[in-house]
Structure 1
Amino acid sequence: MSPMTSGDYVIRAIRADEWEAVKRLRLVALRDPVANIAFLETYDDALKRPDSFYRERAASSAQEPSGARQFIAETADGEWVGTVTVLIEEAGSTDWAGFPVERRQGHVVGVFVRPEHRGSGLLKALFDAGVAWAREQGAQRVRLLVHEDNPRARGAYRKAGFVPSGVSVQLETHAGKREFELVLEW
């Protein structure tokens, strides 16, 4: 998949040799004020991970074929200002929460846009790249989960075309709060 341009940004998949930038952006994301409800990892936990973790993550995302692909938004001066990752879930398997996967689908995780770039249409451009890749992989839909106490993200996802599926899950890490599934089907 070739890079896409969206306004002042280039949207593209990461390369294997960009693991340090992957790590830096992840640490920035985990410092966001809503990181405690948006991610299943803390800043301190991510900081403790060895560099080999980030090397493997970047290499895995960049290989073909791949069960996951991370996309970034890059400014003209090379700053990474947003990211989404799409995981491919196979029909007949179970997802990370133990629910059955009924069809081949993409699962969007790790969504982050730096605050000064929010509201610019960048999130939609990142989703467009991730969804296009998932479709190329034979996915029949794309889904994501959003915390019930994160209405800003829920609104942004709906603006990008995702709709509630009616499914919700409770995560131990979120003190009994629910995550709602939103889907984009074609």
Structure 2
Amino acid sequence: MPVIIRPATRDDLPTLLRFEQGIISAERPYDALLKPDPISYYNIGEMIDAPDAIVMVAEIDGELVASGYAKKRRSRHYTSPDWHAFLGFMFVAPDHRGKGLNRLIVEALTGWARDQGLTEIRLTVYPGNDPALRAYEKQGFQPYLTEMRLGLEDD
């Protein structure tokens, strides 16, 4: 089955909204701070239209099976480079996992980032999400910064 990697269109939104809920469901075990459903992480339609972002999808036999986005972001004022591509919305349909689709999406997003003149890509992964960590490390990503939190309970 040939895989087509292409930019998403607004016609893809119904499937992409389902993908987003799949991401949220998968990440709930790692994040006790997520509000109860229904929630949304992204304005996917806005990202599809944005000049500083791209949403890519993988299609097999006319069916969308994976997604991801890259967005141009300003880096912290005290770090280099000044701008980087931030990846998110990484999803592969359960029946298509293990086929290298995430890698193909990341390659397409990397190409977009290069075309934008960006020299670095960043993304976030929940601690404990070992399959995601391994997948990104296999593609050359390295841990950079760990964000920590302390909840303050009402007394």
TM surpasses 0.5: yes
TM-score range, shorter chain: 0.7 to 0.9
CA distance in 2, matches of 1:134, 1:45: 32
Match of 1:29 in 2: 23
TM-score (norm 1): 0.67
Normalising by the residue count of structure 2, what TM-score does the alignment of the two structures yield? 0.79
Q: CA deviation at 1:135?
A: 1.2
Secondary structure in 2 matching 1:169 = coil
Matched AA of 2:146: S
Residue in structure 2 matching 1:45, options 28, 38, 48: 38
Q: What per-residue deviation string (whole Å, max 9, x for no partner) do you get for residues 66-89 of structure 1?
A: 22211111111x222111111111
Which residue in the other structure is 1:71 paired with?
56
Asked if 1:130 is matched to 2:123, the reply is no
Q: Could you list the runs of 5+ residues in structure 1 that have no partner in the other structure?
A: 1-6, 94-98, 176-186
Q: 1:89 corresponds to which residue?
A: 73
Cα distance between partner residues in 2 of 1:125 and 1:26 = 19
Q: Could you tell me which residue of structure 1 aligns to residue 13 of structure 2? A: 19
**Secondary structure at the residue paired with 2:39?**
helix
Which of 1 and 2 has higher RCO (CA within 8 Å, sep 6+)? 2
Instruction: Return the alpha-carbon distance in structure 2 between the equivalents of residues 43 and 84 of structure 1.
Output: 24
Q: Indicate which of 126, 134, 137 corresponds to 1:158.
A: 137
Identity between Structure 1 and Structure 2 (%): 25
**When the two structures are aligned, how many residues end up with a matched partner?**
150
Contact in 2 for aligned 1:103/1:140 (Cα 8 Å) = no
Gapped regions of structure 2 (runs ≥ 5):
none
Contact 2:81 2:119 (8 Å CA) reproduced: no
2:86 matches 1:107: yes
- Structure with the larger strand share: 1
Structure 1 residues 145 and 129: alpha-carbon distance in aligned structure 2, compared to 1, 3 A threshold: same
1:169 and 2:147 matched: yes
Q: Deviations over 1:42-61 (max 9, x none)?
A: 671337x9xxx85xx32x33
Deviation string 1:2-21 (CA, Å, 9 cap, x unpaired) is: xxxxx632111111333222
Instruction: Give the letter aligned to residue 139 of structure 2.
Output: A
The two structures, once aligned, show a CA RMSD in angstroms of 2.9
